[in-house]
């Protein structure tokens, strides 16, 4: 076996192990990979925002993809290959913030599956006004 093959196999194993370790840690992954741009709360000062807050993003994702599997699939693809034609957010969002830069060097598919599934389950929060479908909202985390 060539050394190169072995090295690349080791890389795969390392990536797999870190994905397993990250299980149940989706929020920490979001904080590390997405929160730099996407706020988890409604920003007090929107003029400083560089991307739409996650509750707004999820509201629009769910309007287009109410089904969790489809929503996760859409988001995983979008984060790796953002394109204006695919976007479900309001066109003004892209005009204002610019297209999201691809995160493919920053996050793996298995991490993204966890992050976006967590996003689907937790956003928009139950008390977010004006949200669409009620499916799956409001469980846990009562006040
Ligand atoms: C460098 C800043 C930046 C980072 C990091 C970032 N995003 Fe974004 N994201 C944006 C911007 C800007 C938009 C709005 C424009 C657009 O939709 O392309 C956006 C839009 C989105 C959308 C809506 C797509 C649509 O249909 O319009 C989703 C879903 C999303 N981001 C998920 C993520 C996830 C998950 C991560 C972490 C893995 C992440 N983003 C990291 C900047 C970022």
Q: Which residues line ligand 1 (CB under 6 A)?
A: 33-34, 36-38, 50-52, 57, 61, 75, 78-79, 82, 87-89, 93-94, 97-101, 103, 107, 115-116
Determine the average pLDDT of the residues in 77-98. Answer: 94
- Domain positions in the chain: 23-122
Please give the pLDDT value at position 143.
Answer: 46
pLDDT in tens, 112-143: 999 999 999 999 988 776 544 444 444 444 44
- Which pTM value belongs to this model? 0.79
The dihedral through the CA atoms of 23, 24, 29, 30 has a sign that is positive
Domain spanning 23-122 has what CATH number?
Answer: 1.10.760
> What is the position in ligand 1's atom list of the atom closest to the CA of 107?
38
Cβ density class 30-69: b for 16+ within 10 Å, e for less: beebbeebbbbeeeeeeeeeebbbbbbbbbbbbeebeeee
Helix (H) or strand (E) holding 90: none
pLDDT class of 15 with cuts at 50, 70, 90: low
Instruction: Give the mutation target among 51, 65, 90 for probing the ligand 1 site: most ligand atoms within 8 A of CB.
Output: 51
Q: Which tokens is 53 given?
A: 């807050």
Alpha-carbon gap, residue 136 to 123, rounded angstroms = 10
8 A C-beta contact, residue 97 and residue 51: yes
pLDDT at 130: 53
């Amino acid at each position: 076996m060539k050394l190169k093959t072995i090295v690349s196999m080791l890389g795969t194993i390392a990536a797999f192990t870190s994905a397993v370790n990250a299980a149940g840690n989706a929020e920490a992954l979001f904080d590390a990979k997405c929160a730099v741009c996407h706020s988890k709360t409604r920003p007090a000062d929107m003029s400083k925002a560089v991307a739409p807050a996650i509750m707004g993003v999820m509201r629009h994702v769910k309007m287009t993809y109410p089904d969790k599997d489809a929503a996760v699939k859409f988001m995983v693809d979008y984060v790796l290959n953002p394109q204006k034609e695919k976007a479900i957010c309001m066109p003004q969002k892209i005009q204002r913030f610019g297209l999201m830069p691809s995160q493919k060097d920053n996050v793996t598919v298995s991490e993204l599956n966890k992050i976006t599934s967590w996003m689907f389950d937790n956003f928009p929060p139950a008390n977010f006004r004006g949200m669409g479908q009620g499916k799956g909202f409001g469980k846990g985390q009562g006040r």
